[in-house]
Amino acid sequence: DAKTTQPPSMDCAEGRAANLPCNHSTISGNEYVYWYRQIHSQGPQYIIHGLKNNETNEMASLIITEDRKSSTLILPHATLRDTAVYYCIVRHRPMDYGGSQGNLIFGKGTKLSVKP
Amino acid sequence: GAVVSQHPSWVICKSGTSVKIECRSLDFQATTMFWYRQFPKQSLMLMATSNEGSKATYEQGVEKDKFLINHASLTLSTLTVTSAHPEDSSFYICSAPKGKGTEAFFGQGTRLTVV
């Protein structure tokens, strides 16, 4: 699976949009971009994923560049509860029930601090 | 979304004792579950893959005789830390992919402290 590069930390003012970048310049054509976050002392939480089109759900938007070498996770109106470590993970489409390709490989992520 | 539940959320045990952690998929069946370990200020590291009805597969450097995994049913996997030592103190997290879906659902984690 392709490696990703994220800034170690970012700050964001409450109520403002948080834009978290991720570089994945070695991504291959059938690899997806996933975003998870981990609030302190909790298990990771799935946020969103995409292949090449921009995606939006109730939590966030995912913007993937046309060359797919980078992406940005956007939290449109950050709240204090969005303070967490955000992980960008690039991986192939998982097999039906996992196996060796079913696990996620976590990097160091970006620690987002939302401040009042 | 799907729910994966871990129990207990935290546990303190004495050195030399064994601790069992349960991971349950509450609203879906999971033939595979994954166990991770996370030390303070570090990222999650995969320990092993739990396979229903067969032996678990362990990542390099993880002792299979120390971290016993049992996946006895399609909704339950257990991780037993045997003869625990203080260096086993960590945050243990399980996850399960939901069938053909592309999301992995994580338990809330178990904080193990060995004294």
- Residue-wise pLDDT for A39-95, tens only, equals 999 999 999 999 998 999 999 999 999 999 999 999 999 999 999 999 999 987 655
**Picking from A5-14, A59-68, A80-89, A96-105, which range would have the lowest pLDDT averaged per residue?**
A96-105
The arithmetic mean of pLDDT across residues A2-18, rounded, is 95
For chain B, the average pLDDT equals: 92
| Chain B residues within 8 A of A99 when measuring between CB atoms | 32, 49
pLDDT band at residue A102 using 50, 70 and 90 as cut-offs: low
> Quick one: pLDDT at residue A99?
45
* CA end-to-end span of chain B: 37
* In chain B, alpha helices (H): none
| Chain B residues within 8 A of A3 when measuring between CB atoms | none
| Percentage, residues of chain A above pLDDT 90 | 77
Q: How far is B15 from chain A (nearest CA, A)?
A: 23
**Picking from A13-17, B2-6, B63-67, which range would have the lowest pLDDT averaged per residue?**
B2-6
Closest CA to A33 of A43, A19, A23: A23
pLDDT band at residue A31 using 50, 70 and 90 as cut-offs: confident
| Chain B residues within 8 A of A103 when measuring between CB atoms | 34, 46, 49, 95, 104
- pLDDT tops 70 at residue B102: no
Of B30, B44, B97, the CB nearest to A94: B97
Of B32, B43, B108, the CB nearest to A43: B108
The arithmetic mean of pLDDT across residues A10-35, rounded, is 94
Closest CA to A94 of A37, A34, A48, A47: A34
The arithmetic mean of pLDDT across residues B60-86, rounded, is 95
> Quick one: pLDDT at residue B31?
85
Q: For residue B41, give the chain A residue with the closest CA.
A: A108
Max CA separation in chain B (angstroms)? 41
**Cα–Cα distances in angstroms (integers) from residue A33 to residues A15, A46, A86, B106, in the given order:** 26, 12, 13, 18
Helix (H, G, I), strand (E, B) or coil at A112: strand
Of A32, A41, A96, the CB nearest to B99: A96
Contact B34 A102 (CB under 8 A): yes
pLDDT band at residue B98 using 50, 70 and 90 as cut-offs: confident
The arithmetic mean of pLDDT across residues B87-102, rounded, is 85
Closest CA to B29 of B72, B63, B64, B73: B73
Q: How far is B102 from chain A (nearest CA, A)?
A: 6
pLDDT band at residue B103 using 50, 70 and 90 as cut-offs: confident
> Quick one: pLDDT at residue A96?
42
B91-110 exposure pattern, b = at least 16 Cβ within 10 A, e = fewer: bbbbbbbbeeeebbbbbbbb
A vs B, Cβ pairs < 8 A, gives: 71
